[in-house]
Amino acid sequence: MAERDAGFSIVELLVSLLILGMLILMILTGLGTGRRVWERMDQSALSIETIEGAQTLLRDRIERTYGATRFDSAAPYADFRGLANRINFLAPPPEVSRPQALRRYDLSLDGNGNLLLSSWSDVAADPDRPAITSVVVLRGVQAMDIAYFGVAAPDLTPRWRPTWDHQPAPPRLVRVRLAFAPGDRREWPDMIVKPAAEDASLGVEQRS
């Protein structure tokens, strides 16, 4: 009996090693799971920051829309052209670039899924070949849908419209919706912006 109590049998040793191995496996699995959870949280936080940054940039530009009036057609109209997948408008340059002339901005989606905000001086030396600056606002965008709220011809009813062109003033509101590819976890909340220049009389320019 004394010899039995002096040590462990081979079976007891194997059982102990098996239990120890299971504990180590559980710890390693837990660490791996925790790492993946943290990675997903980091990616989610980064995605949210990216979306917020993109919306802040676009909101700042669209809010500063300058309602210049054009006279190159039979009826004067605001220098703002909005399509379902593109906007073209005038706005002051960013704070860091002032004082400078107004810039023409163009928001569009290219064939590679890049949401682009391009701009160039509205008083460029060569209007046909301006120096264009393009910023990739967001990557991996599958589709963009833009709508415009306001009163416009021919029905003169305040409602959301898929286009806004050759109207007396810019729209009261602009809504930008983005869609991502299936499996892309990013979410783009509807961005609704109120352009500051609702009245075309804010700026009157003769343009040829």
Between 29 and 194, name the one with better pLDDT. Answer: 194
Nearest to 113 by CA among 147, 137, 95, 94: 137
pLDDT value for 55: 96
Average pLDDT taken over every residue of the chain: 83
Write the DSSP symbol of residue 187.
Answer: -
Is residue 201 predicted with pLDDT exceeding 50? no
pLDDT of the residue at 137: 95
Q: Is the predicted pLDDT of residue 39 greater than 70, yes or no?
A: no
Q: Are 124 and 140 in contact (CB under 8 A)?
A: no
23-39 mean pLDDT: 70
Q: Which residues contact 101 (CB under 8 A, 6 or more apart)?
A: 93, 121, 122, 123
Report the relative pairing of strands 115-121 and 103-109 from DSSP bridges.
antiparallel
In 3D space, the residue among 155, 179, 176 whose CA is nearest the CA of residue 167 turns out to be 155
